[in-house]
Amino acid sequence: MSLKLINLQIGVLFISLPLLIASSKSLANIYYYFSLTKFIKFKKYFNLALFILIILLSIVPSLLIALSLPSYDKEINDFSWLKENTPEDSVILVPYEYGNTVTYFSNRNNIADNNFLLAPNAEERLNDINTIYKTVFKIKGLELINKYNIKYIYASPVILNNYDLTRIPYIDDECFSLVKEDIYEIKC
């Protein structure tokens, strides 16, 4: 981990397994020690304190993190709307993080998703997605849109915020029409 050869999260997983085994052995030693001393009468309090400690250090943080995550109900509704209101051969532009989600809920194609194994020119596709969202030049945007035969662009505030935008710069044009909040249809 210190040489940055493996990801921090993966490294912590590798470290946590030996620590888990060591802590269970230590807990067995503590119980054995209690049985040798006069503290055996406090065993039920120790068990209660250990149980409360486990709740405080694992369950409560998990709940707090889960409650702080954004809700994806709006995106799911938008993608379901795309399924019902767009032709089946439509290509939807979304960032690659949303690729699997839009494919699942709308049954429509996208440019890129998390499965890069079979995708041709994956790095080029990712760069093109970023360019379509961020470019200020309408010609460059339309060139890439036509390259991938994109029919709809999904531009929610969350996506735009990831690109440090409030709107796609060239989208206010006759070539684009807002068909639903955050969903633009390409006319050109």
> pLDDT tens for residues 25-44?
888 888 888 888 888 888 88
CB 92 within 8 A of CB 182: no
Share of the chain above pLDDT 90, in %: 6
CB 188 within 8 A of CB 175: yes
Which pair of structure tokens corresponds to residue 150? 């994109």
Output the pLDDT for position 117: 65
Q: Mutual orientation of helices 73-85 and 99-106 as an angle, nearest 10°?
A: 50
pLDDT in tens, 109-125: 888 877 766 667 888 88
- Dist CA 170 CA 129 (whole Å): 15
Sequence letter at residue 127: N
The pTM for the full model equals 0.64
Output the pLDDT for position 171: 84
Whether 153 shows a pLDDT value over 80: the answer reads yes
For the beta carbon of residue 154, count every other beta carbon within 10 angstroms. 21
Which pair of structure tokens corresponds to residue 162? 């990831």
For the beta carbon of residue 85, count every other beta carbon within 10 angstroms. 14
